[in-house]
Amino acid sequence: MASPLSFLLTIFILLPCFLSPSHADAPPSAPVSPRTLCKSTPNPSYCRSILPNNNTNVYTYGRFSLRKSLSQSRKFLKLVHKYLQKYRPSLSVSAIRALQDCRFLAGLNMDFLLSSFQTVNATSRTLSHVEADDIQTLLSAILTNQQTCLDGIQSTASAWSLRNGLSVPLSNDTKLYSVSLALFTKGWVPKKKRNSPWAWQRSSKRRPGFKHQRLHFRMSSRTRTIYETVSRRNLLQTSDDADEEVLVSDIVTVSQDGSGNFTTVNDAISAAPNNTNGLNGYFLIYITAGVYQEYISIAKNKRYLMMIGDGINQTIITGNRSVVDGWTTFNSATFAVVGPNFVAVNITFQNTAGAIKHQAVAVRNGADLSAFYSCSFEGYQDTLYTHSLRQFYKECDIYGTVDFIFGNAAVVFQNCNIYPRKPMNGQFNAITAQGRTDPNQNTGTSIHDCNIVAADDLASSNTTFATYLGRPWKEYSRTVYMQNFMGSLIDPAGWRAWNGDFALNTSYYAEYINTGPGSNTSKRVTWSGFHVINATDAANFTVSSFLLGDDWLPDTGVPYSASLT
């Protein structure tokens, strides 16, 4: 088992902004008409319909759009409340759950929009790379949250009135948020990054909340006693060099036999402080070996949580919710987290519903700057939902069948084992289903230096099942495989269409110097969205460039390869 206490977090990359040649080089402070400015957005006609009809600069338009977005997010949250209160008796259980998802996501959107507006309202200048990435991340996540709500509502087949009443405001608000993201990109994002999808200049500024050098453990005597107990079990193998140690504010132990502070993981999470800023370090929850049959949801106010188990297949968190049993995909997760700066180490996460229950999520991650290190994710369809924001996975095992790594985060998987399993008869395996919906979202899935081989049940099966690297769930789906080993299970075409020619030309799928019998690209799909890339392009999807990992990972001792190997 790899030594934990070397890990943490993520960020990402920008995409072309549809800048027309006639005004692409105009400074953001220059007055411009709505018609001219809106040409740089994905939906120019809608953009023109909502911006004030007078010439001003990008900053004024951007603030106007964000202010309007914040107002609309409040209105939509009230509308969802109305449906839940007024129409609940007439709604199915699945419709109620879809509405509850929308309420949860709308609340996050209000938080993200308020934070974004506060930043852009304070300055009419290009932001630093770090600041710009932070806001672009939030605005990208807002669009993801909108799409998740819409997907849940549309999947509720029996609730026609629900779909009719919410689909239009959802669609209109999504277009508004897209305008806000486009204008932010044009006005506040550094020019080199804005005009090139891959340009990046490293910033010397480090993220707030941690010191600029690697952190030392500082803790109370009681915490030190617990820490030393954990250390003796080789769970926190820190170096003799104190500069590689990580700051921990407190440690609690979860043990089912009653010997720890708590007997359930949920009780330990409840005891964690709210809204911490990280200055005092992580609240560490040590979970001893055992099978924990719990549904866990780590809220947005539980920041800087770290969970360490006794190891893969030793500390197991398990559940069996599924879409077939009336849950939405979003809330079928055994383990869900949105609290920023979350870390998990040496834990197995399961959804045991089985292939027959279709969508059944083991982990849903919407936690910004989160990391899973030396963990295992076990399920079938939709095992790991990398929902949104910035994420990093190191030396993890991931098992599944259909779309089993999916979502719209900016995420890198590094040195992981990816195990396609035996699906139901008539099914095929698709490793990824990336969900990028807007060309200005800086999201995508990067799989780097991983091992892709059949799980035991698939390897020993007498039936042949096709396995693909991915398929385009949404219009601007983006997935890159770099320097991985691909077993013979990978279909020669590599990639599979979602529905007809949907997104085949707007997606970005790429491969770079993979090895193994499944890596031959000579018979790959011929879509214009598929690319065999060179080292220069591939470098843009590394931890250093795609996640800007050099900016934050060293502060936490996370083991990672910054560049191509």
Rounded to 5 degrees, φ, ψ at 442 are -95, 55
Q: Which residue matches tokens 């295992």?
A: 376
Distance CA 379, CA 401 (A): 8
Beta bridge partners of 410: 390, 444
Q: Which of 101, 133, 403, 491 is catalytic?
A: 403
Structure tokens at 500: 């007809």
**In 61-100, where do the E strands start and end?**
none
Dihedral sign from CA coordinates of 501, 148, 326, 78: negative
Q: Which residue matches tokens 């993801």?
A: 144
Rounded to 5 degrees, φ, ψ at 445 are -115, 125
Asked if residues 4 and 308 have their Cβ atoms less than 8 Å apart, the reply is: yes
Three-state DSSP class for residue 230: helix
- In angstroms, how far is CA 521 from the centroid of its own chain? 28
Ramachandran bin of 342, using left for φ above 0, alpha for ψ from -120 to 50, beta for the remaining angles: beta
> Catalytic residue at 368?
no
DSSP-assigned letters across all residues of 276-336: --STT-EEEEEE-SEEEE--EEE-TT--SEEEEES-TTTEEEEE---TTTT--SGGG-SEE
Distance CA 364, CA 338 (A): 9
Q: CB-based contacts of 135: which residues, under 8 Å, 6+ apart?
A: 115, 116, 119, 120, 127, 184, 188
Angle at the Cα of 150 from the Cα atoms of 149 and 154, rounded to 5 degrees? 120
Three-state DSSP class for residue 317: strand
CA distances from 210 to 7, 223, 298 (A): 14, 20, 22
Three-state DSSP class for residue 458: helix
CA distances from 98 to 74, 104, 326 (A): 18, 10, 10
Q: Which residue matches tokens 């993890």?
A: 396
Three-state DSSP class for residue 165: helix
Asked if residues 541 and 446 have their Cβ atoms less than 8 Å apart, the reply is: yes
Ramachandran bin of 272, using left for φ above 0, alpha for ψ from -120 to 50, beta for the remaining angles: beta
Distance CA 514, CA 484 (A): 5
Catalytic residues: 403
